[in-house]
Each structure stands twice: as C-alpha cells, then as structure tokens.
C-alpha cells in the first residue's frame, strides 16, 4: 500500500469548455503522479504534484538509449456520475511484461492500481461528460541514471499523466484509410514488438510520415522477415472478417502489441458465437478475399482508437475499398457494446469495469 503525498498547486487550470474539440492528448490536467526508484531501495516517494516540466540531467539514460516504457488506459464517466476504469489490471500486467523486457524494475500491481485510482480520483472533475469522450491515462517509466555507459539504469521515475480526450482519429468512428508499408518494418521476432516502448513508435514514424503525406491515417505493418504477414497498425491491432470468420494476427511471434481492446473484442465476439481465429494472415490472402468478394470488413482496435473501421487499404499495387467505405456491422456491434460497458450503458456481465468513485 502506497503512502501517497499530495502537493497542492496554487491555481487550477481552466477546463476545456468545448468537449467536441478535445482531440487526442493535447490538454493535460492539473496534477501528475510521480514515484522514484533506486536499486537496493525499491520504489519510493509516491506523490501527486502539480503537472509540469520534469527536471532531468541531460545525460539521463532515457534520452540516449530509450530505456523507458509507457501504458495507455482510460477513465470513463457514467450517466449516474460514477468514474470507472476498463480492465486496468490488464494494462498493469502488460506494463510489467514490458518492464521485464526493458530491464526496468517491476511495479507491484496493487501499488500501480492504487496510483492510477488516486490520480484519477484527484482529477475526477477533468473526466469529460460528452458521449465519445474519456480521460486518457498515460503511465510511463523512464531511466534516470546520469551516465552514458550502455547498461540498465539503477534509478527510474514512474509518472502518470492525464489528458481529457475525444477520438484519436479526426475521422472519429468513420472508416480510416490505411497504407501498407512494404519498405520499413516495425518489429522482428526477439525484438520489442510485444512491449509498449517508445522505440517501437520511433521506428514507425518514417512510415507514418510517408503515409500521412500520401493522405492515409495510419500504416499497416507487415512482418519483419518476409514482409508478407500482417502484424498491426502501430496505434491499433487489426481484425479482418473473411467469409464470416473473424481473423486477427496471432501474438506468438512476439511482434504484436497484446492489446487490451484486442483481447476484449475476441472475448466479446466469441461470446456472441462468432468464429474468431488468431493466426498468421498474409496480406495476399486479404487481397485475394477482396477480389473474390469475401472480405466482409476490417477494423482496428486500441485504447486510444477504440474500434476504428478500415475503409481503404492500399499497397503499391492494390487498392481495397472495404464495405463501400462504411463501418461494417461487426465493428459497429463491437463499438456499441465495448463503449457501452465503458460508459456504463451496457451491463458489465464480464466484470471488466473497475470503479474509481
């Protein structure tokens, strides 16, 4: 159990007045959670302090060797005024899986949950009210040893910052256009693809920039060895519905982020009787299915992206328009049920919701 100290700020910020313009991750709340780590001492000094710049030595390891990790989850306001989290234990489990891969010390899962709940409760007035909005929670850990040798750091800073958000894509729930990247790769077996680390996203920027220049919202990454099999879209996992079967790339190669939304969609779909298969899926199979009229729909899943239908998929030679550029029935059903559970309008029969207040 953490003994979290609170350091009040003199003046609170003005809260956003127009929740339809929140976008994603542009506004931050009044406070943040911080906690330090030293080898031999463990995690110490948990505190909630005014949100603001961190003072770090320029030689800190995180700046040079990217020893860091992050997570992403959300707090939702229900119609009856409660604030709740969605499966935070899953994020905490993934956080510690990432920590092990990155030689970052693990955080006690109960302490991590307590810290998340404490900062969300402190900032409860920042949880937006409008449909489609939430308070995005970004826990992260950075290596703070001030030295340039390449070794795991002995000191770390764990922080949690909060941002009231609307939809991740400007298109909202409308289908997004995705560019298939065939030159660069995001992850390879044995690498950090399954971990939530900034380096994965840094490596993806060149593809993302190329896609944006061509008018696409995101990049579809293929496997790093054969450039043949579908991995993920960086900010989301992907699902394809071929001839009634829902297919999503399997996690066993270690290239793909094990998304909490991905896992939840698989569980929901199976509970509704859909056939869901986790396996290798070649891009050529998707193209073939499209040509044969068997590609019913495709969508991405993620905490930030929620359920994001894919309206168009383009590589160097093929352009696939899915479901006439409209959201498909399975994506719509998942969106309605998942967000319903999160916003408290659909019964949480699977016990996924964790109350804060």
In whole angstroms, how close is the CB of 22 to ligand COI at the nearest point? Answer: 14
Tell the smallest beta-carbon distance from residue 73 to ligand COI (Å). 7
Distance CA 131, CA 78 (A): 10
Say how far apart CA 1 and CA 213 lie, in whole Å. Answer: 49
User: How many whole angstroms separate alpha carbon 332 and alpha carbon 352?
Assistant: 20
Determine the size of the site formed for ligand COI (CB under 6 A).
6
How far is residue 152's CA from residue 145's CA, in Å, rounded to a whole number?
A: 9
Q: How far is the CB of 302 from ligand COI (least distance, A)?
A: 4
Closer CB to ligand COI, 145 or 299, in the complex: 299
Nearer to ligand COI, 138 or 280 (CB): 138
Angle between helices 109-122 and 88-101 (to 10 degrees): 120
Report the site for ligand COI in 60-89 (rule: CB under 6 A). 72
CB of 72 to ligand COI, least distance (A): 2
C-alpha distances out from residue 303 to 21, 71, 91, Å: 19, 10, 10
283-342 residues in contact with ligand COI (CB under 6 A) are 302-304
Q: How far is the CB of 253 from ligand COI (least distance, A)?
A: 20
Residues 189-218 that bind ligand COI (CB under 6 A): 201
**Interface with ligand COI, residue 241, by CB under 6 A:** no
CA-closest candidate to residue 239, choices 142, 285, 307 = 307
Contact in structure between 305 and 259 (CB atoms under 8 Å): no
Tell me which residues touch ligand COI (CB under 6 A). Answer: 72, 201, 235, 302-304
């Amino acid at each position: 159990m953490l003994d979290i100290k609170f350091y009040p700020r003199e003046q609170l910020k003005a809260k956003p007045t127009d929740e339809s313009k929140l976008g994603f991750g542009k506004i931050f709340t009044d406070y943040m959670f911080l906690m330090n780590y030293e080898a031999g001492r463990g995690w110490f000094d948990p505190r909630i302090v005014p949100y603001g710049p961190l003072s770090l030595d320029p030689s800190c390891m995180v700046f040079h060797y990217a020893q860091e990790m992050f997570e992403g989850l959300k707090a939702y306001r229900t119609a009856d005024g409660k604030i709740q989290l969605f499966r935070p234990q899953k994020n905490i489990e993934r956080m510690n899986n990432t920590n092990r891969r990155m030689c970052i010390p693990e955080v006690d899962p109960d302490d991590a949950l307590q810290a998340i709940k404490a900062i969300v409760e402190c900032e409860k007035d920042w949880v937006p009210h409008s449909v489609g909005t939430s308070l995005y929670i970004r826990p992260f850990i950075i290596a703070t040893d001030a030295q340039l040798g390449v070794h795991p750091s002995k000191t770390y800073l764990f922080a949690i910052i909060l941002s009231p958000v609307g939809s991740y894509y400007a298109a909202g729930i409308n289908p997004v256009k995705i560019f298939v990247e065939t030159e660069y790769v995001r992850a390879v077996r044995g690498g950090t693809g399954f971990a939530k680390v900034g380096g994965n996203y840094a490596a993806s920027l060149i593809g993302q920039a190329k896609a944006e220049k061509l008018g696409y919202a995101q990049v579809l990454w293929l496997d790093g060895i054969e450039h043949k099999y579908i991995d993920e879209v960086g900010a989301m996992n992907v699902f394809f519905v071929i001839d009634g079967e829902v297919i999503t790339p399997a996690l066993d190669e270690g290239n793909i982020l094990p998304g909490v939304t991905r896992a939840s969609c698989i569980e929901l779909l199976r509970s509704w009787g859909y056939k869901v298969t986790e396996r290798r899926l070649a891009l050529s199979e998707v193209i073939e299915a499209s040509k044969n009229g068997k590609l019913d729909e495709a969508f991405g899943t993620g905490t930030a992206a929620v359920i994001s239908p894919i309206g168009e998929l383009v590589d160097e030679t093929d352009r696939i328009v899915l479901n006439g550029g409209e959201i498909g029935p399975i994506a719509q059903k998942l969106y309605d049920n998942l967000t319903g559970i999160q916003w408290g309008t659909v019964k949480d029969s699977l016990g996924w919701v964790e109350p804060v207040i």
